[in-house]
Structure 1
């Protein structure tokens, strides 16, 4: 396909994706009231614990409430229309892939969507505890009037951070299948991966109890090791094919050599 045709196809797919975002944002506008009520529930819970109304959202400007509604509607639109704009991306990339690569891409997309949603659900579960702890530093008798847009930004970053963290195994497997990241590399770095997972959980869920941190870190670690198993199985399958064809293994050892030592087998 010539460059001009590629650009025309890209423009068409971007237009359809943007149209889907607009439709999703319109649905998000309609869902704004119940969603905003759910966003306020952690703050209301803190206010009930304190027995006062000194923890609440503050709309500082005249147009802040309208701007807030626009941002929430667009954020909901991105989530609601994600199958549509992901399909548009897929439809643009597909013509340049082989049949086998298309099957891999479908599998990656099918795994990425539920993992991302699982991460966002875990973030929503951890949100009340984080809000309760962070607002707990408010001095006695003082009011904590939280800027509405600042609070929305905090919630969105928390949700996106957890969603992207749960996409780690998909990225690992994709790099492995592309020949960029070998299973041996992921296996050597498993200690760092576990450490990073617990640090991430401690930072993103700043609660005084260790149970919440463990509940967040353990699923991330399990996903890492599940992806590692898939990478190991894939590398072994590739090594068998290369040995059958008389080619060196992925680690550079030749057929007839021991992969662990690099010396010839008896």
Structure 2
């Protein structure tokens, strides 16, 4: 029976640490989910407000299958718990990888991680408070009178979650630009020179990610243009800090 190699013990320790971090992350997510379950109906009612406020008086949502009215609030509760627990989950991931990073990498990773989480939350809030009311107002205003809007509860939830993900992910643009500059793939000067191409690409991405209406497309494309400029300024600020590390 052969003895364990010198590299097996550290590997086993890393696997045990990874399992512990995963269990802690899932435990935190489960606790948040259990705390939110009693408020499932209230959460869905709150999420439906941007659409219900645009419907005629007395009109509400429907469920096209018997279980739809039950599973839609539960699905929303799970995603809300995941949304709230993201900082805790990211902390567990950070605590696992941080010991293997250099001091400079830690100094750069922490602000980038915090900025990514904050921008994702800002994107979702922007979508809920500004984009959804404008989109539903546009869609309900220009519909023919012979068409009655009777939205399905599950389809509405999928639509809103897709909007949240699209805006939350799109608001990560400055972080992605800074990472590309830090990796040396592009420079701030190249980002400035490619501004015209980037704006065209932003409008194409907005057209793909948003519903087929001009309101949501503009409300995604215009903030992304400002975020592109913010990414250039953030990259310019970080470049002087990167140069000394490349010297011998």
TM-score interval for Structure 1 and Structure 2 normalised by the shorter chain: 0.7 to 0.9
Alpha-carbon offset, residue 185 of structure 1: 3.6
2:32 counterpart of 1:7: no
The aligned residue for residue 224 of structure 1 is: 228
The aligned residue for residue 42 of structure 1 is: 50
- Secondary structure of residue in 2 paired with 1:17: helix
The aligned residue for residue 30 of structure 2 is: 22
Provide the rounded CA distance (Å) in 2 between the counterparts of 1:3 and 1:240: 34
Q: Closer, same or farther in 2 for the Cα pair 1:47/1:191, shift >3 Å?
A: same
Deviations, residues 15-41 of structure 1 (Å, cap 9, x unaligned)? 111111111222332332332112222
The two structures, once aligned, show a CA RMSD in angstroms of: 2.6
Asked if 1 retains the 8 angstrom alpha-carbon contact of 2:181 and 2:187, the reply is: yes
Alpha-carbon offset, residue 138 of structure 1: 4.7
Provide the rounded CA distance (Å) in 2 between the counterparts of 1:239 and 1:189: 22
Alpha-carbon offset, residue 161 of structure 1: 0.7
Alpha-carbon offset, residue 240 of structure 1: 6.3
How many residue pairs get aligned? The number is 238
Q: Higher mean Cα deviation, 150-159 or 168-177?
A: 168-177
2:184 counterpart of 1:176: no
The aligned residue for residue 85 of structure 2 is: 81
- Secondary structure of residue in 2 paired with 1:31: helix
Provide the rounded CA distance (Å) in 2 between the counterparts of 1:38 and 1:74: 15
Provide the rounded CA distance (Å) in 1 between the counterparts of 2:35 and 2:70: 16
Asked if 1 retains the 8 angstrom alpha-carbon contact of 2:43 and 2:73, the reply is: no
The aligned residue for residue 101 of structure 1 is: 105
2:191 counterpart of 1:186: yes
Q: Higher mean Cα deviation, 164-173 or 136-145?
A: 136-145
Using structure 2 for the length normalisation, give the TM-score. Answer: 0.83
Deviations, residues 133-154 of structure 1 (Å, cap 9, x unaligned)? 3345654244332221111000
Using structure 1 for the length normalisation, give the TM-score. Answer: 0.78
Provide the rounded CA distance (Å) in 2 between the counterparts of 1:36 and 1:240: 52
2:132 counterpart of 1:131: no
Alpha-carbon offset, residue 115 of structure 1: 1.1
Greater length-normalized contact order (CA 8 Å, ≥ 6 residues apart)? 2
Q: Closer, same or farther in 2 for the Cα pair 1:138/1:83, shift >3 Å?
A: same
**Aligned residue runs from structure 1 range 160-175, under 5 A:** 160-175=165-180
Provide the rounded CA distance (Å) in 1 between the counterparts of 2:235 and 2:52: 46
Deviations, residues 221-249 of structure 1 (Å, cap 9, x unaligned)? 2221122123234334544675xx5x7xx
Asked if 2 retains the 8 angstrom alpha-carbon contact of 1:168 and 1:224, the reply is: yes
Structure 1: stretches of 5+ with no match in the other structure: 248-266
Provide the rounded CA distance (Å) in 2 between the counterparts of 1:63 and 1:130: 28
Determine which of 156, 160, 164 is the counterpart of 1:155.
160
Alpha-carbon offset, residue 202 of structure 1: 5.5
